[in-house]
Each structure stands twice: as structure tokens, then as C-alpha cells.
Amino acid sequence: MFSFADPTHRERPMAGTGPPGRTRAWQPSGMQAATGSPCCSAGRPATSGHASGHPFRPAPDDRRYDGQVRLPARRFAMGDAFGEGYPADGEVPVHSVALDAFAIDEMAVTNAGFGAFVAATGYTTEAERFGFSAVFDGLVRAVPDDVLNRVPGAPWWLAVRGADWRHPHGPASSLDGLADHPVVQISWHDAQAYCRWAGARLPTEAEWEYAARGGLEGRRFAWGDVLQVDDGWPCNIWQGTFPTSNTAEDGFVGTAPVRSYPANGFGLFEVAGNVWEWCADWFSPTYYAASPDVDPRGPGSGTARVLRGGSFLCHDSYCHRYRVAARSSNTPDSAASNIGFRCANEV
């Protein structure tokens, strides 16, 4: 059985011990209470990196620039200008950051794209190797015996045997009709493995926020300060009463296909909601106070990596992390049905 350190968390269960013989710290993404309790607990079981045993080879040519947006060197104001973030997330102080030019994917990596990587390398994800992963209750497709645990204090998160990127909601689910959806059930190590094969890297947290802002300084969202635009939904988040009723006014209950919502000012799609996206940095809630003002890359070490953007499970009653300054984190071996990634490159 799992044991969880803190049942007050709401969007992401805390680290714990898995089934017998497992030492994985299992945490779905973005699981903080509205009170701002810490995303990540200390003392998680250590991981051993990706340890896949599979060879990696660079993708041919320079194809990472196909479908990427090149952004010029620029200084921008990073952080929460509204004072709305949870204190434990460390979204303040707002600080000026200068970045070199870089390129970033216009959309999250899709199931089709990740499938090409797996076909070329034979890579096995961490969820596949551990044999289980985190699935939102309302989307689970599994027999009762495959549900290993329900999280105390957050019963909508389940540890499901056989959940992985090919079976994002459990062993009875598949990728039928989801080729153009963002790949999920991806750990930070899995994302790193894809990037190495593709000749790319994960964006730094500062690069991600700069790109997500789309040129809008000091705004709440990637499109402005008001959540709904002309009474419509510009992103894939939860509508209704969480976690019992999702009215799906934005068109989707789970993930949406990439490019489902208008791009931001830089041409990036779904930088709010849909799936959490891994960044390269280690996470610290106090990092902004000491962050260098040129090309910050996060603390030198830590226990969790940064996640950005929120997911289709975000709702302002408990997790308004679809704001462009919002931060979250997770242990680098964690995967869930709402975690994906996009790539970046030097230019």
C-alpha cells in the first residue's frame, strides 16, 4: 500500500512508498491545496535516473526547428505581478530576467511524436518499468484489482497498475483517436530521454515563462487579465464543481488535441491548461529572491523539478495554476495522466 505524507494536498498526492518492491515517489502533478501547502515533501525515496538501458541517437538533420518558434534575446519581468500565487510556490518577487535567443516548440510533444521516438529507440518509460502510475478517478479505465490505492485527502487520484503513455487512463485505455493529443504519463527523465534523441532539451523555467507570456508584460494569462474571452474558454481547464462535475464548457473532459485553442502572441499553443509541462530546472520556492538576472537555470540541486502551465484538472477553487506566472513541481520520476512536455533548442 501507498503511504502519503500530507493529505491536505488537493491536486497532487504526496510522495509515498509504492507496492512491495517499489521505491518510487508517486505524485500526480499540481497537487497543492488552496492554502498553499508545499507541492513536494522532503525525504522522498531516491531515484536512479532514467536507467533505461536503451541506446539513444540524435534525430537526423536539424528537425527540432520544424514546428518551433525562434525567440530573440530579450529582458522580461518574471513572476506574479498580482500577488495571487500560493506562498509555497514562490512566484515572487517579480524580477527582471535577460535571456539569450532560443527556440521552443509551438506545442506539446504528441502521442504520435513520442511514438516515433519509442519506435526508433525501444525506450521504456518509467511508468512502464514501475508498472503503475497516477490517473484521475473520473478517467480511469481499469478493473478494480488494478487500482492499487486511492489517495487519502485527494480520493480523485488513483495509483493504477498498467497506466502508462500507451494506456494513459489504465490498462483498458488506448491511444485510439489521440495521436494529436499531448503525450502524458511522462516523467522528467522520460522527457529528457526524448530530448536527447531529438537533438533538443527541456526549456528552462525562465524560457518557458518568457515564451508563454507571448510578449505581454505583467499580465495574468497568456492572453490578458480576464480568464474568459468573449464568454469563451481560451484554454482547457475544469469547469463545474471539482472533482464531481465537469461541464466541459471548453470542449474537453480530458486532454485536448494540440492547437485546439488560439496561439499566444509568439505562436505557442496551450501554454495554459491541457497538460503540465516539465522544465529543466530544479525547484525551490525561494529561488526568485536570489535568482541571477541573466539566463537563470534554477538551483544547483533539489528533490523536485519545475512544472509549468497547469492542466485540464485546474480549477480556481483549489488550483489556479493556469496563470502564466504559476509554478508547480514534482519528483523527476513522477508521471500522471496530466503531465507532458515540450522541447527547446539553442539558436
Q: How do strand 147-151 and strand 339-340 relate by DSSP bridges? A: unpaired
pLDDT in tens, 203-246: 999 999 999 999 999 999 999 999 998 889 999 999 999 999 99
The per-residue pLDDT for 12 is: 44
pLDDT at 13 over 80: no
- The residue-averaged pLDDT of 5-12 equals 34
The residue ranking higher by pLDDT, 152 or 302, is 302
d(CA 139, CA 337) in angstroms, rounded, equals: 9
- The residue-averaged pLDDT of 35-56 equals 28
3-state SS track over 2-23: CCCCCCCCCCCCCCCCCCCCCC
Q: In this structure, are residues 135 and 169 in contact, taking their beta carbons and an 8 Å threshold?
A: yes
Nearest one of 213, 204, 181 to 280, comparing CA atoms: 204
pLDDT in tens, 260-282: 999 999 999 999 999 999 999 99
User: Which residues, at least 6 apart from 40, have a Cβ–Cβ distance to it below 8 Å?
Assistant: 14, 15, 27, 283, 303, 304, 329, 330, 331
User: Which residues, at least 6 apart from 95, have a Cβ–Cβ distance to it below 8 Å?
Assistant: 77, 78, 79, 288, 291, 293
Q: What distance, in Å, lies between the first and last C-alpha atoms of the chain?
A: 47
Containing H/E element for 329?
strand 328-330
Cell numbers found for residue 238: 475544469
pLDDT at 25 over 90: no
The residue ranking higher by pLDDT, 59 or 223, is 223
Q: How far is CA 288 from the centre of its chain?
A: 20
In three-state secondary structure terms, 290 is helix
Cell numbers found for residue 150: 486511492
Q: How far is CA 301 from the centre of its chain?
A: 19
The residue ranking higher by pLDDT, 232 or 2, is 232
d(CA 247, CA 195) in angstroms, rounded, equals: 36
Q: In this structure, are residues 12 and 2 in contact, taking their beta carbons and an 8 Å threshold?
A: no
User: Which residues, at least 6 apart from 21, have a Cβ–Cβ distance to it below 8 Å?
Assistant: none
Nearest one of 164, 187, 165 to 47, comparing CA atoms: 187
The per-residue pLDDT for 229 is: 87
The per-residue pLDDT for 65 is: 54
d(CA 86, CA 107) in angstroms, rounded, equals: 27
Q: In this structure, are residues 39 and 88 in contact, taking their beta carbons and an 8 Å threshold?
A: yes
The per-residue pLDDT for 9 is: 35
Over pLDDT 70: what percentage of the chain? Answer: 81
Mean pLDDT of the chain: 84
d(CA 225, CA 323) in angstroms, rounded, equals: 9
Least confident range from 16-30, 71-85, 250-264: namely 16-30
pLDDT in tens, 92-108: 999 999 999 999 999 99
pTM of the predicted protein model: 0.85
The per-residue pLDDT for 109 is: 98
